[in-house]
């Protein structure tokens, strides 16, 4: 898994690419935690280039969301493929996250 980071309109954007599985979840979660601890309290995760997410990946997202709640920040997800969205629905995670179709919509929600 590869992580691409950018700033857009004052929002930190993280774009994981590949699979957020057992091997990729730890570096993904560690990077989210480092960004939040460094003051990135508006975080957008663009999942458009994610082919698969495992339970370890969901755990990393849940921990990131909990950290954001503690700092009164905002975490928004966007760009999910139909398959990734299906995995979120199967795990009943769609109600736990703010999920947007596009990056522009997500930027507006996170601000």
* Residue-level pLDDT at 111: 85
Contact 84, 57 (CB under 8 A): no
Class for the domain spanning 2-106: alpha beta
pLDDT in tens, the chain (111 residues): 999 999 999 999 999 999 999 999 999 999 999 999 999 999 999 999 999 999 999 999 999 999 999 999 999 999 999 999 999 999 999 999 999 999 999 999 998
**What are the structure tokens assigned to 96, written together?**
């736990």
Q: Where are the beta strands (DSSP E) in the chain?
A: 2-8, 11-20, 42-46, 49-53, 74-78, 98-100
């Amino acid at each position: 898994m590869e992580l691409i980071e950018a700033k857009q309109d004052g929002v930190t954007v993280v774009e994981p690419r590949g699979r957020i599985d057992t091997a990729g979840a730890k570096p993904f979660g560690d990077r989210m935690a480092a960004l939040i601890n460094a003051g990135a309290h508006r975080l957008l995760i663009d999942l458009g280039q994610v082919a698969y997410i495992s339970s370890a990946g969901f755990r990393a997202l849940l921990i990131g969301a909990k950290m954001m709640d503690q700092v009164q920040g905002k975490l928004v997800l966007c760009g999910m493929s139909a398959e990734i969205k299906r995995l979120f629905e199967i795990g009943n995670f769609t109600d736990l996250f703010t999920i947007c179709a596009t990056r522009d919509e997500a930027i507006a929600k996170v601000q």
